[in-house]
Amino acid sequence: MTPDQVLEEVERVMSARWQWGVADCCASASDVFAALHGIDPMAPVRGMYDDAMGAYRLIRDWGGFPEMAEAMARIACLKVGTGQPGEIGLSAPGNAGGPDGRAMLICIQPGQWAGKSEMGYTVLPGAERSWRAA
């Protein structure tokens, strides 16, 4: 997987305007991951929310954002990643605008992680943890 392949999918998927449940940080990162690997980490919760309150409730019901991300990775049979192109990751708290200041991200290349923003995407320097396809 090359950084160019990842960036092409990031730009294709994340260029849409933010929409809860469709084009938010979790849905967008999962859509990019699915396009690259054929695995949708978010499959168990697709269609379960369509606004911010619904997203926060869903995250709460899973025990928090990190717990939900870990559970989705486990259900999708993903392996712990090392921050390589095409991996899906969870930002550190306070590094993004999502719940608890977190967001789901996609690794473009080591040190460059794309996360969904209101009108596209932003690039962050790293993820707290990441997962890769088996």
| Structural domains in the chain, sorted by start | 3-132 (3.90.1720)
H/E element holding 16? none
* Secondary structure (3-state) at 107: strand
**pLDDT value at residue 99:** 67
**What does pTM read for this prediction?**
0.96
Please tell me the chain's helix, strand, coil percentages from 3-state DSSP, rounded to the nearest 5.
Answer: 40, 20, 40
Dihedral angle, C-alpha 30, 36, 39, 44, nearest 10 °? 10
| 50-68 residue pLDDT tens | 999 999 999 999 999 999 9
| 112-131 residue pLDDT tens | 999 999 999 999 999 999 99
